[in-house]
Amino acid sequence: MALSYVYRVLLTGLLPVIAALVYLEGQRYDPALIRFDQLPSESSTTARLLPESIDGFTLLGNVRLYTKDNLYEYVNGHAEYFISAGFISLAVGEYTASESSSTEPNVIIDIYDMGKSIQAFGVLSDESGGSLSDIDGGFTGFRSPAGISFTNGQYYIKLSSFNDNVSLETIASRIAGSMGEAADAFSEFSQLPDIGIVAATRFIKEAYRGLDFLNNVIEREYVINGSTVHIFIVKQDMGDIHEITESFMKYFRQSGIEFSSINIKNSTVHKISDPYEGDWSLIVFPDSLVGVFGAADDTIVQKLLTESGS
């Protein structure tokens, strides 16, 4: 009986010691030291896009990884926006000059996996405030006082540096080149002919021009001979394009908007006399819808048809 009592006392006394040891062992976890083989596959894939060295700069420490669960730690106040836009994972790499012993980064590279190319482009457009332009190196993106942002397939990429001697354009080219050809390449603009100066490029996620059935729209604003022309594109599969077209026809009829239609090979051109938007054209292709606002004549429509092979 006495021996049993002693065992109980010893066990009771050891419990706080065991708990303290478990706690201290847990504090040794370093979130930067993450094994890729224990991460979700999409997170480890994003991390591997960041090289150990690039253009004279070497990675400082480990790549930092973020998922939906902890993104707020890096972009506090902005995490919900990224998640609602399709965010999957983020890899962050900090780089310093290879010959330097400094522990302060010269270049920071953020690679966001947004799941789809159009979602990556949507974030790029939103972050730019609609002011996208062509960047040296063949990218569509935007510059900020300390960086460059652009997309490559499903990835939204941000480069930052406060060193004026760093060529972010060169680093951007190297990053994109190391990624290879994007499996989900963004090709929406490939069917647009060279019709004028691109003044702005925008992504409208929902209700383009107030139409609740017209979502995920890419719009480009052109300046042509001093006039402004807007062209929008919606890329979907054939079934969705048919459904959106039917919604347009229903909207026109219910709103008393006059329109005429003509079939040209594998496409249909609708000429709309809209009391709200003015005269404009809607071209229905098998895999896309293209709208043209502000054009003085049918020249742009004809170029679009020619570009598509219609």
Spell out the domain ranges in the chain. 36-179, 188-308
Print burial letters for 87-121: b (CB count within 10 Å at least 16), e (below 16): bbbbbbbbbbbeeeeeeebbbbbbbbbbbbbbbbb
Domain 36-179 and domain 188-308 have a common topology: yes
Note the CATH architecture for domain 36-179.
3-Layer(aba) Sandwich (3.40)
Predicted TM-score (pTM) of this structure? 0.66
**Which pair of structure tokens corresponds to residue 47?**
């991390």
**Which pair of structure tokens corresponds to residue 220?**
């480009």
Each residue's pLDDT tens digit, 274-291:
998 999 999 999 989 999
Q: Which residue has the higher pLDDT, 203 or 171?
A: 171
Each residue's pLDDT tens digit, 111-165:
999 998 888 988 998 888 767 777 766 677 888 888 999 998 899 999 999 888 8
CATH superfamily of the domain spanning 188-308: TM1622-like (3.40.1000.20)
Each residue's pLDDT tens digit, 67-99:
999 999 999 889 999 998 899 999 999 999 988
Confidence category of residue 182, pLDDT binned at 50, 70, 90: low
3-state secondary structure of 52: coil
Each residue's pLDDT tens digit, 170-179:
999 888 888 8
Share of the chain above pLDDT 70, in %: 80
pLDDT score, position 293:
95
